[in-house]
Structure 1
């Protein structure tokens, strides 16, 4: 009978792999220096998730009545450029607020997963990147405070730094991936929802104010 702990270990072994420092000698008495790298299987899963979020979800939203494909494409491009500020564009295009929020969050998630996939692939193919990860993570683990609480900085970080900066930072220091993605999406959703609320309010208030 396989216990839950054993089952988790099996799943982890299928999705992650231990990478030894490229320059480490084969001395059996030497403590191994390295880090955990997502396996090719996990990279495929994350890449598929990115495609689903960036392609499939927008394609489904196009099927909704009153939603134009060119407006969705404009909002996708705006999300990639101005990130959590993109709901302003969606509201200006006349898209329903719910559609705007779902689309920008889906695009943000897709970009995060895509960045992780590309960085993991670069790590797997480049010894220089492996050197860099070992160097950074050895120094990161020296700070217990940063190691324990640093990941929570991703929530405000998504508001300040955005989608193109936070995932590489989280990847570089090796924060637990599922929790990092969750925290980044929480930060992005809060920022996007706030922007959407302000933009929707202005659209409702400005016509009445100007007519007055």
Structure 2
């Protein structure tokens, strides 16, 4: 690869990482600054969100954070992960000829199948619930779905999972810790 192309790739990867950090880490820290939420608990939820996604909700609630704050932190974290991954894959797809050829073939397949073209993106909801964002972002990118639309559908599955997890956790804590 030529030196000019390498620097372009590195700049784009740095921009993708910066977008991820801004949305997934810095935005969740706003309540710490403005509402006096504990920094350690917030950082714990962010870190756990990167690892187990909506499964981090019980951790935040156990640390004494409000369900609304836990919801906000995990929504930001999930959105940042999706956007960062999508940008990284976009960079690879636009700078690597073999990957670009692979993408063209998969886009042709998804356009040739009416059911995949029309309803395929809806499969991101159960994929998010069962597998997570680390699967949804690459699949969205490979099948050529627009980033904003894929993010919206992915986040729909995430919101459902997160709300159910928060409600069940609060109920469990209510029973175990009256």
- TM-score after normalising by structure 1: 0.73
Contact 1:47–1:114 (CA under 8 A) maintained in structure 2:
yes
| Deviates further, 65-74 or 123-132 | 65-74
Q: Which position in structure 1 is the counterpart of 2:117?
A: 147
Secondary structure at 1:71 match in 2: helix
Which of 71, 74, 83 is matched with 1:101 structurally?
A: 71
**Two-structure CA RMSD over aligned residues (Å):** 2.0
- Count of aligned pairs: 167
- TM-score after normalising by structure 2: 0.86
Q: Which position in structure 2 is the counterpart of 1:36?
A: none
| Deviates further, 170-179 or 50-59 | 50-59
Q: Which position in structure 1 is the counterpart of 2:157?
A: 187
Answering whether residue 81 of structure 2 is matched by residue 121 of structure 1, we say no
The 2-side partners of 1:64 and 1:147 are apart by 44
Per-residue deviation, 1:62: 1.0
Q: Which position in structure 2 is the counterpart of 1:168?
A: 138
Structure with more contact order per residue of length (Cα contacts < 8 Å, sep ≥ 6):
2
Per-residue deviation, 1:175: 1.3
Gaps of 5+ in 2: 1-10
The 2-side partners of 1:133 and 1:184 are apart by 21
Q: Which position in structure 2 is the counterpart of 1:37?
A: none
Higher strand residue share: 1
Secondary structure at 1:67 match in 2: coil
Contact 2:121–2:140 (CA under 8 A) maintained in structure 1:
yes
Gaps of 5+ in 1: 1-39
Per-residue deviation, 1:186: 1.1
- Return closer, same or farther for 1:113/1:123 CA change in 2, 3 Å cut-off: same
Contact 1:112–1:181 (CA under 8 A) maintained in structure 2:
yes
Once the two structures are superposed, residues 27-78 of structure 1 have per-residue CA deviations (whole angstroms, 9 ceiling, x without a partner) of: xxxxxxxxxxxxx99x95x766534312331221212445211111111111
Q: Which position in structure 2 is the counterpart of 1:132?
A: 102
- Return closer, same or farther for 1:77/1:55 CA change in 2, 3 Å cut-off: closer
- Return closer, same or farther for 1:186/1:81 CA change in 2, 3 Å cut-off: same
Higher helix residue share: 2
